[in-house]
């Protein structure tokens, strides 16, 4: 029933705009059939350009190649690539109803009318839009529009689905719900999906693999777990989640720094800085054996937890999280333990 | 509102209306009066209207013909040009847009003289109504272009087209399915302008016409200058009868489609029906 998912390969794909701006440095990327690959990065990092290269909305600079299942499609425009695309603004046609929007790709492909109707009905049912079939698109809410855009892209049964920040235009609560739905949908269809976002939580939740991009280059490719726990660079470490950085020097029995000593397993490289995430820090009950000593500078109650800034005498204060029930005052002395397996040296 | 202020406002409004409408009514009446200098007591007649119909019918048909041909020409030239300008958001495009407005800024007489200087020697062309059509098209094209361009600039044309392309639509299909329907209101507004402007154009036409290619406004000037006032007025009445239904029809078509307002929010968004 579902089409065979597509394997996509980019070879040496760079993109320079007419004004000389380099949007993308030469990029090699393998996208496996059926996986959900998330392109993640700050604005201007080249993630949307990469998506548009795959879609066929942009052409790579000379020498770059786009391969679909090993076949070179570089010269083909988007209309000949048979990929589904969901745009950030949805790009729904204002002159058509919901059903006409969803059926547009089928109409272009000249499917028999009966088949077109059946498929549109199927998509409307799946997206729970049956009651809205004859509405104009300007009579829809944001979430409904998003669904129509998805349904329209999927109605032609593409072998790959490209999504350009599809949730950015929605409010936060709806975003969470729809993110989960899209995840289930993509997995249920088994389709190759390429998803562009600047939201790391979205990337973590959706991606089989994440490509973190910065300044037109790939900073790291890996599973969400890899990216979070084994960031390849300081940029990735800082971009994904919160990261503490402590300067000091590696010694025979750990890592000496302002405020104490971290139990760093020997690296053999003479580390000058270590990093760790807030969740790997525990507030120590026993003052004598704690790794670090410091002073609380600020405390933010977040409902499910309390976020503390702790000054240990280094340049930047540490970010630490504690259970919401503990209260801390600025100026209060605090002792911390950092899990040794949470320590990162780059 | 105090009754005095209301009365004053009403009086003022009525006075302005009268100022605008009385000449029209007088002109219409003049065309239907047996002898305008004697006044209405001389009686009402259709004599003058029939006289104009018999003597000037050809100018009427010619004006309608030229206006429709002008509309066709500006549609064929103006809509694709507006589309091209909307897509090319370059500085060159902007400059070109300004250039296209020139025929409106330049006096009609100057345009007409330029046309005569350039093509006057082509006698077959010079003496045909197509010569007038060229002048009208030059003058009205900017109005069509501007109207369509304004609508196209207000929608995210590029993304809409990319959306259609992603579903397999080629350039021609995108133009017909997406671009044209979404600039429908601009095309209608532009058409209205072009038809009325061409129908009433005098400046250019006065220089471009030959005795055998008179249009209605030229004939009207002729009638006022050389015939009885009653004939000229009857002529105006015919012009009225022709243009008013046209204006009303276009106006009705150009009215924005009113859609029932349906409040939509996401609180009742049902979960996807995914097969397990």
Q: Tell me: the pLDDT tens digits for B180-189?
A: 999 888 898 8
Query: Would you state the structure tokens that stand for residue B15, as one six-digit string?
Result: 């006075």
A172 has pLDDT over 60? yes
Are residue A192 and residue A119 in the same domain, yes or no? yes
Query: Would you state the structure tokens that stand for residue A155, as one six-digit string?
Result: 């109605």
Are residue A217 and residue A297 in the same domain, yes or no? no
A71 has pLDDT over 80? yes
**Residue in this structure with the two tokens 């054996």, named with its chain if needed:** A289
Q: How far is it, in rounded angstroms, from Cα B14 to Cα A179?
A: 63
The residue-averaged pLDDT of B90-118 equals 83
Q: How far is it, in rounded angstroms, from Cα A225 to Cα A208?
A: 10
Q: Which range in A154-168, A267-281, A301-315 is most confidently predicted, on average pLDDT?
A: A154-168
In-domain check, residue A2:
no
Are A57 and B162 an interchain contact pair (Cβ–Cβ within 8 Å)? yes
pLDDT at A227: 92
In-domain check, residue A298:
yes
B254 has pLDDT over 70? no
Task: Report the gap between the CA of A116 and the closest CA in chain B (Å).
Answer: 14
pLDDT at A286: 66
B258 has pLDDT over 70? no
- Angle value at C-alpha A161, between A175 and B152, nearest 5 degrees: 80
Looking at the partner chain, which of A90, A136, A185 has a beta carbon nearest the beta carbon of B274? Answer: A185
Enclosing H/E stretch for A32: none
Question: What are the residues whose beta carbons fall under 8 Å from the beta carbon of A141, sequence distance 6 or more?
Answer: B264, B265, B266, B269
Are B159 and A89 an interchain contact pair (Cβ–Cβ within 8 Å)? yes
The residue-averaged pLDDT of A126-140 equals 89
Count of the separate structural domains present in chain A: 2
Q: How far is it, in rounded angstroms, from Cα B225 to Cα A79?
A: 63
Are residue A165 and residue A249 in the same domain, yes or no? no
Give phi and psi for B94, each to the nearest 5: -60, -45
Judged by average pLDDT, the poorest of A328-332, B109-113, B144-148, B268-272 is B268-272
Q: Can you list the pairs that B82-86 forms with residues at least 24 positions away whose Cβ atoms lie under 8 Å?
A: B82/B144, B82/B145, B82/B148, B82/B149, B82/B152, B82/B183, B82/B186, B83/B148, B83/B152, B83/B175, B83/B179, B83/B183, B85/B145, B85/B149, B86/B149, B86/B152, B86/B153, B86/B157
Are residue A184 and residue A308 in the same domain, yes or no? no
The residue-averaged pLDDT of B27-46 equals 80
Are residue A72 and residue A157 in the same domain, yes or no? yes
pLDDT at A325: 74
pLDDT at B256: 61
Q: How far is it, in rounded angstroms, from Cα A115 to Cα A47?
A: 36
Which CATH number is A35's domain given? 3.40.50.300
- What value does the mean pLDDT of chain B take? 84
Tell me which chain B residues have a C-beta less than 8 angstroms from the C-beta of A95: 178, 181-182, 184
B166-178 pLDDT, tens digit per residue, is 999 999 999 999 9
Tell me which chain A residues have a C-beta less than 8 angstroms from the C-beta of B273: 125-128
Nearest CA in chain B to A90: B163
Looking at the partner chain, which of B155, B163, B275 has a beta carbon nearest the beta carbon of A87? Answer: B163
Judged by average pLDDT, the poorest of A216-230, A242-256, B27-41 is B27-41
Q: How far is it, in rounded angstroms, from Cα A287 to Cα A174?
A: 45
Which of A220, A238, A256 terminates a domain? The answer is: A238
Query: Would you place residue A2 in the very low, low, confident or very high pLDDT band (cuts 50, 70, 90)?
Result: low
Tally C-beta pairs within 8 A across A and B.
Answer: 106
Nearest CA in chain B to A125: B273
- How far CA B202 is from CA of B143, B216, B226, in Å, comes to 17, 9, 17
pLDDT at A164: 94
B39 has pLDDT over 80? no
In-domain check, residue A73:
yes
A75-94 pLDDT, tens digit per residue, is 999 999 999 999 999 999 99
In-domain check, residue A17:
yes
Q: How far is it, in rounded angstroms, from Cα A134 to Cα A141?
A: 15
Looking at the partner chain, which of A108, A174, A185 has a beta carbon nearest the beta carbon of B272? Answer: A185
Cβ pair A114, A188 in contact under 8 A: no
Q: How many CA atoms lie within 13 A of B266 on its CB side?
A: 18
B50-84 pLDDT, tens digit per residue, is 888 888 888 888 888 899 999 999 999 999 999 98
Which of A215, A238, A261 terminates a domain? The answer is: A238
Give phi and psi for A333, each to the nearest 5: -75, 145
Higher pLDDT, B202 or B77: B77
How many residues in chain A? Answer: 346
In-domain check, residue A174:
yes
pLDDT at B29: 84
| Backbone angle region of A202, left / alpha / beta, with phi > 0 → left and psi within -120 to 50 → alpha | alpha
Query: Would you state the structure tokens that stand for residue B38, as one six-digit string?
Result: 């004697």
Tell me which chain B residues have a C-beta less than 8 angstroms from the C-beta of A185: 272, 274
Are residue A324 and residue A183 in the same domain, yes or no? no
Nearest CA in chain B to A54: B166
pLDDT at B261: 64
Domain range for A80: 8-238
Which CATH number is A338's domain given? 2.40.50.140
In-domain check, residue A3:
no
pLDDT at A203: 92
A161 has pLDDT over 90? yes
Task: Report the gap between the CA of A2 and the closest CA in chain B (Å).
Answer: 12
Which of residues 180 through 219 in chain A touch B, CB cutoff 8 A? 181, 184-185, 188
Which of residues 105 through 144 in chain A touch B, CB cutoff 8 A? 105, 108-109, 125-128, 135-136, 138-144
In-domain check, residue A110:
yes
Query: Would you place residue A102 in the very low, low, confident or very high pLDDT band (cuts 50, 70, 90)?
Result: very high
Looking at the partner chain, which of B159, B269, B273 has a beta carbon nearest the beta carbon of A125? Answer: B273
pLDDT at B257: 60
Q: Report the candidate in B190, B81, B182 with the shortest Cα–Cα distance to residue B144.
A: B190
Interface of B with A (CB under 8 A): 155-156, 159-160, 162-170, 173, 177-178, 181-182, 184, 259-262, 264-266, 269-275
Cβ pair A271, A291 in contact under 8 A: no
Are residue A151 and residue A282 in the same domain, yes or no? no
- How far CA A201 is from CA of A37, A179, A204, A240, in Å, comes to 14, 10, 5, 9
- Any chain B CB within 8 A of the CB of A79? yes
Superfamily of the domain at B17-255: MetI-like (1.10.3720.10)
A288 has pLDDT over 80? no
pLDDT at B74: 94
Q: Report the candidate in A107, A151, A113 with the shortest Cα–Cα distance to residue A129.
A: A151
Question: Which of B167, B177, B274, B275 best tests the A interface by mutation, with the highest count of A CBs <10 A?
Answer: B167
Cβ pair A83, A159 in contact under 8 A: yes
Question: What are the residues whose beta carbons fall under 8 Å from the beta carbon of A78, sequence distance 6 or more?
Answer: A55, A56, A57, A85, B162, B165, B166
The residue-averaged pLDDT of A198-207 equals 91
Looking at the partner chain, which of B173, B182, B266 has a beta carbon nearest the beta carbon of A94? Answer: B182
Question: Which of A139, A157, A160 best tests the B interface by mutation, with the highest count of B CBs <10 A?
Answer: A139
Q: How far is it, in rounded angstroms, from Cα A129 to Cα B254?
A: 32
Nearest CA in chain A to B262: A139
Which of A195, A222, A238 terminates a domain? The answer is: A238
Q: How far is it, in rounded angstroms, from Cα A176 to Cα A188?
A: 19
Higher pLDDT, B2 or A215: A215
Are residue A151 and residue A62 in the same domain, yes or no? yes
Are residue A27 and residue A167 in the same domain, yes or no? yes
- What value does the mean pLDDT of chain A take? 89
Tell me which chain A residues have a C-beta less than 8 angstroms from the C-beta of B173: 108
Are residue A275 and residue A155 in the same domain, yes or no? no
Distance from chain centroid for Cα B33: 31
Task: Report the gap between the CA of A212 and the closest CA in chain B (Å).
Answer: 26
Q: Widest CA span of chain A, in angstroms?
A: 79
Are residue A29 and residue A146 in the same domain, yes or no? yes
Are B173 and A55 an interchain contact pair (Cβ–Cβ within 8 Å)? no
Are residue A253 and residue A231 in the same domain, yes or no? no
Domain ranges of chain B: 17-255
């Amino acid at each position: 029933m579902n089409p065979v998912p597509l394997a996509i390969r980019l070879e040496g794909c760079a993109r320079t705009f007419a004004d000389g701006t380099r949007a993308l440095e030469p990029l090699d990327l393998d996208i496996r059939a059926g996986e959900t690959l998330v392109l993640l990065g700050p604005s201007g990092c080249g993630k949307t350009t990469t998506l548009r290269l795959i879609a066929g909305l942009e052409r790579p600079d000379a020498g770059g190649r786009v391969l679909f299942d090993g076949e070179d499609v570089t010269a083909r425009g988007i209309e000949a690539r048979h990929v589904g695309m969901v745009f950030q603004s949805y790009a729904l046609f204002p002159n058509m109803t919901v059903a006409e929007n969803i059926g547009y790709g089928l109409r272009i492909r000249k499917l028999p009318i009966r088949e077109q109707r059946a498929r549109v009905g199927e998509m409307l049912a799946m997206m729970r839009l049956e009651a809205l079939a004859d509405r104009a698109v300007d009579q829809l809410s944001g979430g409904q529009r998003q669904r129509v855009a998805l349904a329209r892209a999927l109605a032609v049964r593409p072998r790959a689905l490209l999504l350009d920040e599809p949730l950015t235009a929605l409010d936060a609560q709806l975003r969470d719900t729809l993110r989960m739905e899209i995840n289930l949908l993509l997995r249920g269809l088994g389709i190759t999906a390429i998803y562009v976002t600047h939201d790391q939580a979205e990337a973590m939740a959706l991606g089989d693999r994440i490509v973190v991009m910065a300044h037109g280059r790939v900073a790291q490719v890996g599973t969400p777990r890899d990216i979070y726990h084994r960031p390849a660079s300081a940029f990735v470490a800082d971009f994904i989640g919160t990261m503490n950085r402590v300067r000091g020097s590696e010694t025979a029995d750990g890592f000496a720094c302002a405020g104490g000593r971290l139990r760093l397993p020997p690296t053999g490289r003479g580390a000058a800085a270590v990093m760790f995430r807030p969740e790997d820090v525990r507030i120590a009950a026993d003052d004598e054996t704690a790794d670090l000593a410091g002073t609380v500078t600020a405390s933010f109650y977040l409902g499910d937890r309390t976020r503390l800034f702790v000054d240990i005498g280094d340049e930047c204060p540490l970010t630490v999280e504690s259970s919401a029930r503990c209260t801390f005052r600025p100026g209060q002395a605090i002792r911390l333990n950092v899990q040794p397996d949470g320590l990162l040296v780059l | 509102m105090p009754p005095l202020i209301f009365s004053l406002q009403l009086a003022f409004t009525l006075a302005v209306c009268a100022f605008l409408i009385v000449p029209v009514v007088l002109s219409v009446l003049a065309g239907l009066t047996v002898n305008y200098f004697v006044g209405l007591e001389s009686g009402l007649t259709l004599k003058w209207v029939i006289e104009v119909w018999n003597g000037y019918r050809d100018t009427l048909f010619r004006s309608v013909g030229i206006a429709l041909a002008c509309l066709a020409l500006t549609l064929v030239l103006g809509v694709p040009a507006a589309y091209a300008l909307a897509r090319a958001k370059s500085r060159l495009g902007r400059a070109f847009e300004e250039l296209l407005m020139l025929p409106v800024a330049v006096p009609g007489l100057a345009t007409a003289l330029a046309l005569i200087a350039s093509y006057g020697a082509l006698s077959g062309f010079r003496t045909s109504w197509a010569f007038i059509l060229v002048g009208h098209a030059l003058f009205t094209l900017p109005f069509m272009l501007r109207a369509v361009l304004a609508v196209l600039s207000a929608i995210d044309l590029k993304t809409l087209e990319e959306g259609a392309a992603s579903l397999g639509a080629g350039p021609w299909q995108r133009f017909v399915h997406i671009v044209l329907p979404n600039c429908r209101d601009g095309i209608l507004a532009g058409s209205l302008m072009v038809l009325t402007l061409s129908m009433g154009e005098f400046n250019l036409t006065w220089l471009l016409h030959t005795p055998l290619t008179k249009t209605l406004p030229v004939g009207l000037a002729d009638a006022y200058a050389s015939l009885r006032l009653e004939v000229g007025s009857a002529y105006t009445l015919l012009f009225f009868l022709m243009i008013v239904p046209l204006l009303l029809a276009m106006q009705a078509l150009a009215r924005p489609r009113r859609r029932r307002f349906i409040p939509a929010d996401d609180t009742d968004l049902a979960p996807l029906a995914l097969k397990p």
